[in-house]
Every structure is written in C-alpha cells, then in structure tokens.
Chains A and B, each alone.
Chain A
Amino acid sequence: EIVLMQSPGTLSLSPGERATLSCRASQSISSSDFAWHQQKPGQAPRLLIYDTSSRATGIPDRFSGSGSGTDFTLTISRLEPEDFAVYYCQQYDGSPFTFGQGTRLEIK
C-alpha cells in the first residue's frame, strides 16, 4: 500500500498570500496518477487537480499542481477567503487507492 504523508498538518496564512502544500508518497508513483481534493466544513470533498497537474472543471487557475516520483505539491498562488479549507492528496496509481491525512489551511 502506498502511504501518503501531507505537510504541514496546519498552514496559517492570510488572504493574498501564496500557499504551498506538500504530499510525499512512501514509494514512487510511476505514472501521473495523483490528485488533490478540497473539503470545506459540512461539505463533500471536491476535486481540484488530477493527473498531477490538470485542473478539474471550474477550478480557478490560482490552483496548480506539480511533482513526480514521491513528491507532489499543490500551490495556491493568491489565497482567496473561500480557499481556507482542508486539502487531501490522493494516489490512484496502485490499488488500494489512498489519501493523505489532510492539510488544514486556516486564516492567520
């Protein structure tokens, strides 16, 4: 099983700042089968990024994904008030598909 470790656990930033969220896999993900999801309180998660760097439908271009091998990054270029939420990484390269434990992005 591929274990995903997200860092930091909590990130405190202000609107307008740049956010960088990391996810490290326990073994190399041989393809680009990597995604990021956003979850706000009381809501279902929402797909942001798939195939490492492709934005899902309707996702603003301030969200971008990058990475390869074992290290992946979600970058939010300029934080908007609605971006404060919990973010999860996910790999679907090998079964079982797994999620990271989440990064909470909070307003400073």
Chain B
Amino acid sequence: QVQLVESGGGLVKPGGSLRLSCAASGFGFSDYYMSWIRQAPGKGLEWVSYIGSFGSSVDYADSVKGRFTISRDNAKKSMYLQMNSLRAEDTAVYYCARGRYSSYWGQGTLVTVSS
C-alpha cells in the first residue's frame, strides 16, 4: 500500500536551517508530482511547494520562496525540503503528499522555530 513517511523535523532557532525528508513506498514514485503542505498549530492547510516527476518543474508559495528548496531522488524514492532562514511563522506540521491533488498524505513532521 502507499506509504509516505516524513522525518527531519525538530526545534530550531530563528535563522536556522532544517532538511525534511519524505520516504515513499508502495507506488511508482517517479510517476508522480510530489508536494509539501504545512499546517501551523490550530490553523488550516497551506501549500508550500511541489516538484515534478523528474525534478524539472518546481514551484513555491510566496511565503517560502527564496528560503526553501524542494528536491527529489527517484532512485531512493525520496523527496526533500531544505529550509533555510527559518522564522517563527514557519512553525508547523509539514506533510508530504503525492500528486498535484494530494491523493495520499504522510503523517507529518513537526517543525518548531523558537529561541
């Protein structure tokens, strides 16, 4: 069955960096766009970024553009989100999801930006 497992979250100081990973299994990873979506505590869903099947197509929400970088390794069936210059408002659960319409979601990883 389809599984998406995020890792790499944690507590980081403002201005710091983190790298999130999403390990996929149970489907042809290289056949699908992949997305990162986040949810701040008690808030709604915010789309963060997507990456095309072979990494040539990427886009970002304005709120993270220039600070976050999405990438993927199809051989490892994994997707990544490099997050730099983190701010308090980046505090959220980060979900990876399959496809443009998020047909499957991981369980999420919590990122807390605080001094």
Contacts and interface: CB of A to CB of B under 8 A. Distances in A.
Give the interface centre of A44, A92, A95 by most chain B CB atoms within 10 Å: A44
Contacts of A37: 45, 102
Interface residues of A, number: 23
Contacts of B37: 99
Contact of A99 (B46, B60, B104): B46
Interface stretch (B17-25, B67-75, B83-91, B105-113): B105-113
Interface in B14-50: 35, 37, 44-47, 50
B80 interface: no
Nearest to A92: B100
A44 B101 contact: no
Contact of A96 (B60, B95, B108): B60
Contacts of A88: 44-45
Nearest to A36: B101
A47 B101 contact: yes
Given A33-B100, A44-B107, A45-B105, A97 B47 contact: yes
B44 A90 contact: no
